[in-house]
Amino acid sequence: MKTVRILVSGRVQGVGFRAFAVREARELGLDGWVRNLPDGRVEAVARGEDDAIEVFAAALRRGPLTARVDEVTVAETEETVPAGFMQRG
């Protein structure tokens, strides 16, 4: 199991990006959360099997058709995550 923090920058807010991320994460059986940051990026913290994390990160790079993802940064973290996957404020 690996826990990662994924930061997505670009024009991804207001286009259902968080809902898209939650759907993808739940389908992959990941735990964690996703939220908008004040600087305009989207942050996701996810825990799961390595291959599921890779598929999740690839999905966030694609984004929904209306998103314009500029950059996705993935870094391992020691953060504790809740069971299931949710949106945060």
CB 54 within 8 A of CB 20: no
Question: Which of the following is catalytic: 23, 36, 47, 61?
Answer: 36
Instruction: Tell me whether residue 41 is one of the annotated catalytic residues.
Output: no
Question: Which of the following is catalytic: 5, 18, 23, 88?
Answer: 18
Please report, as a single letter, which amino acid is at residue 2: K
Instruction: Tell me whether residue 18 is one of the annotated catalytic residues.
Output: yes
Active site members: 18, 36
